[in-house]
Structure 1
Amino acid sequence: MTKRIGLDPGHGGSDPGAVGVNGLREKEVTLAVALLVAELLSRAGIEVVLSREKDVDVSLAERAALFNRAGLDLVVSLHINSSENPRADYLSTYILGPGGQAERVARTIQDELVRALGWPDGGVRQAGFYILRETEAPAVLVEMGFLSNPQEAQALKKEEVRQTLSRALARGIALHLGLDPAVFSPGSDIAGHWAEATIRRCLELGLMHGYPDATFRPDNFATRAELAASLVNLLDKVKANNL
């Protein structure tokens, strides 16, 4: 049976969420990362329901109602923290209470994020956030660092960091669902290839993607469809000034 995951990019529209010391808005990062995670999960055959796919207002009640109608296996809400202390810098994952699937998936996702980014481990915490209280499926809320921290705010502007976050989140979800997380590892067959550094750069920037079996197949010919997808990805990055 196909697994169904709810992804909730926090804030949006008139609600920017936290605003970083560099002007970066929480709503931008949560949406960008959620779309990347959704793409990874979809390529692995997991059905994804997004609470928003654009920069629009969606109330907490609307988000919970959408997820409850969808009959999901798991809900993951994405946020970025902020603090009066600019040195606060940890990753953390929240659950409503201890025990059950939510705690298990929270610990798995938390481990993957800390391993991938190397940022301090803020652990799994408890809170009465609306999305955790009102969703029928097991739900976790991930705080992906601190926008009030200058170093992390700068890092979260980078496509490479967002890609790393998305892969870690996808791996954590896959592990919870009993799937092989290697499907989200970029290009397992490019080690030692003469173009390895270039291929890894393309993968990090989101210009190209590997195959669902975690291979890149660097010496295969590209189809016209793959070329078109890469060119569109490049154009989107240029327009967004991400290159």
Structure 2
Amino acid sequence: MKIFIDPGHNYSGADTGAAGNGLREQDVSYFVGSYLTKYLSDAGFDVKCSRNKLADNVAATFNRSINYRYMQANEFKADYFISLHCDASADKDAKGAHVCVYSKNSTAERLASAVIKKLIPLGLDGRSEKIVERKNLGVLKHTNMPAILIEMGFITNPENANLMRSPEMIARAIFEGICEFTGIKTEKEYMSVNDTIALMSDRGIISDTEKWYNGTWNDDDFKWLLRKVGTYIADKM
């Protein structure tokens, strides 16, 4: 599955973002995008980014910057498009995340719903309308795939800005929303304890299974088991 990540705005020149509380939108979006790209790639998604370095400028003018982002996504033939932004307001009390979509009652709105559900518990509540229809945003209007634009809170709000200093937390929430929507597990499912004991017994690693099933093993047993497992793995390499 292909996902295109668009860390909003440019590092400098045309199409730079908002600023507040010592942060710049273009920097926050880049760092969240970097973590999100890593999380998605590690989970098996095929990911492409509009900005791969902090100092990247997508294009020299505002219009070209917008156009190049959706053109890259369309050329990549992405299944989903995720644009990352920060809101701003003259009212420092304005706070909260929301997600923009081109139209409601759509696949994009369902993806947006999954993402915003993960963002709100981080402390990004505050907006009455969590999913907003925007017909005038080029990256939503001209993409050939379901596209969402995430406003990750207000950079002008001290509490929201403080969270933006932990971009990995925001990225993780977005990642979990994407995974929930697409049905991809966010964590590897490990074998149960009993199944693991049965497997190790079957492979000849342990023999006294009752001790392990009943939890009556001690530290010496555990150290012995580690040595046995290490030896078993080394022999198989």
- TM > 0.5 between the two? yes
In the alignment, the residues of structure 2 paired with residue 164 and residue 75 of structure 1 have an alpha-carbon distance, to the nearest angstrom, of 20
TM-score (norm 1): 0.70
Residue-pair matches, total: 180
TM-superposed deviation, 1:57: 1.7
For the Cα contact (< 8 Å) 2:19–2:155, is it kept in 1?
Answer: yes
For the Cα contact (< 8 Å) 1:83–1:146, is it kept in 2?
Answer: yes
For the Cα contact (< 8 Å) 2:153–2:160, is it kept in 1?
Answer: yes
* Root mean square deviation, CA, Å: 2.0
Which residue of the partner structure matches residue 194 of structure 1? none
Which residue of the partner structure matches residue 31 of structure 1? 30
Which residue of the partner structure matches residue 163 of structure 2? 155
**Aligned runs of 1:69-108 on 2, under 5 Å?**
69-108=75-114
Unaligned runs of at least 5 residues, structure 2: 59-64, 189-225, 227-237
Which residue of the partner structure matches residue 196 of structure 1? none
**Aligned runs of 1:156-235 on 2, under 5 Å?**
156-157=164-165, 161-182=166-187
1:136 to 131, 144, 159: 144
Which residue of the partner structure matches residue 197 of structure 1? none
Instruction: Point out the structure with max Rg over C-alpha.
Output: 2
TM-superposed deviation, 1:182: 3.5
2:133 to 116, 121, 126: 126
- Runs of 4 or more above 6 Å deviation: none
Q: Tell me, yes or no, if structure 1 residue 110 matches structure 2 residue 116.
A: yes
TM-superposed deviation, 1:121: 4.8
Identity %: 33
Give secondary structure in 2 for the equivalent of 1:108: helix
For the Cα contact (< 8 Å) 1:92–1:121, is it kept in 2?
Answer: no
Unaligned runs of at least 5 residues, structure 1: 184-219, 221-243
In the alignment, the residues of structure 2 paired with residue 72 and residue 65 of structure 1 have an alpha-carbon distance, to the nearest angstrom, of 11
In the alignment, the residues of structure 1 paired with residue 126 and residue 5 of structure 2 have an alpha-carbon distance, to the nearest angstrom, of 22
